[in-house]
Amino acid sequence: VDAFQAWCGPCKTVVDLFRKIKNEVGSDLLYFAVAEVDSVDALEKYRGKCKPVFLCYAGGELVAVVRGVNAPLLRKTVLEQL
């Protein structure tokens, strides 16, 4: 989940990265979503941050967090969680 604030918008630069990973692994286990933290009470603790935050969930539980746009770290984290 790309957790963003309305004033800065979702991180469009990583959409291609996630699309590439999804194509490479061909897994139905991988989904990418965006969520505006100002609209989701459960994401309240991410409000007021100017850095993008990427949340990895498995089985409904938060399993990893990546702060900032670091493509190699995002890729590594996603693949480890799969």
| pLDDT given for residue 52 in this prediction | 80
Helices (H), 1-46: 15-25
Q: Where are the beta strands (DSSP E) in 1-82?
A: 2-4, 34-36, 53-58, 61-67
| Residue 13 predicted with pLDDT over 80 | no
C-beta separation of 74 from 54 below 8 A: yes
Per-residue model confidence (pLDDT) at position 69: 83
Domain assignment present for residue 76? The answer is no
Residues 6+ apart with CB under 8 A from 78: 18, 21, 30, 56
Question: Where in the sequence is the domain holding 55, given as residue range(s)?
Answer: 2-69
Q: Is 53 helix (H, G, I), strand (E, B) or coil?
A: strand
Residue 27: alpha-carbon gap to chain centroid: 17
User: What is the mean pLDDT of the segment spanning 16-25?
Assistant: 86
Report yes or no on 57 lying in a domain.
yes
Tens-place pLDDT, residues 2-12: 888 877 766 67
As for how many domains the chain has, the answer is 1
pLDDT digits over 23-77, tens only? 888 878 788 888 888 888 988 888 886 678 889 998 889 999 998 888 899 999 9
Asked whether residue 79 is domain-assigned, the answer is: no
